[in-house]
Structure 1
Amino acid sequence: MKKIAIGVRDLPVRTKQPNQIDIEVGSRIRLQRHLKGISQVAFGEALGVTFQQVQKYEKGTNRVSASRLSDVARILGQPVSYFFGNEQGQHNVDQETGDVAQFVGSGEGLALNRYYTRITDARVRRKFLALVTTLADADLADSK
Structure 2
Amino acid sequence: MADDIDMHLGRRLRRRRRLLGLTQQELARACGVRFQQIQKYECAANRMSAARLWQLAEALEVPVAYFFEGLSELRAKSRLREEGGEVFARKETRDLVRAYYQLGERPRRRLLDLAKSLHGGEAEG
Q: TM-score scaled by structure 1? A: 0.48
Unaligned runs of 5+ in 2: 75-125
RCO (CA 8 Å, sep 6+): is it higher in 1 or 2? 2
Structure 1 residues 16-31: aligned runs within 5 Å = 19-31=3-15
Distance 1:34 1:40 in 2: 9
The amino acid across from 1:53 in the alignment is Q
Q: Which has the higher helix share?
A: 2
Shift of 1:86: 4.8
Distance 1:21 1:87 in 2: 7
Kept after mapping to 1: 8 A contact 2:24/2:38: yes
SS of 1:31's partner is: helix
Structure 1 residues 56-135: aligned runs within 5 Å = 56-86=40-70, 88-89=72-73
Aligned residue pairs total 74
Unaligned runs of 5+ in 1: 2-17, 91-144
Bigger drift between 78-87 and 42-51 goes to: 78-87
Runs of 4+ in 1 over 6 A off after TM superposition: none
Shift of 1:88: 3.9
CA-atom RMSD, angstroms?
2.0
Q: TM-score scaled by structure 2? A: 0.55
* Amino-acid identity (%): 45
Distance 1:19 1:83 in 2: 15
Shift of 1:89: 2.9
With over 3 angstroms needed to count, the CA separation of the structure-2 counterparts of 1:87 and 1:42, relative to structure 1, is closer
Distance 1:54 1:86 in 2: 21
Q: Does 2:21 correspond to 1:40? A: no
Distance 2:25 2:32 in 1: 10
Q: Which has the higher strand share?
A: 1
The amino acid across from 1:63 in the alignment is R
Distance 2:41 2:3 in 1: 12
Distance 1:25 1:35 in 2: 15
Shift of 1:85: 1.1
Shift of 1:87: 6.3
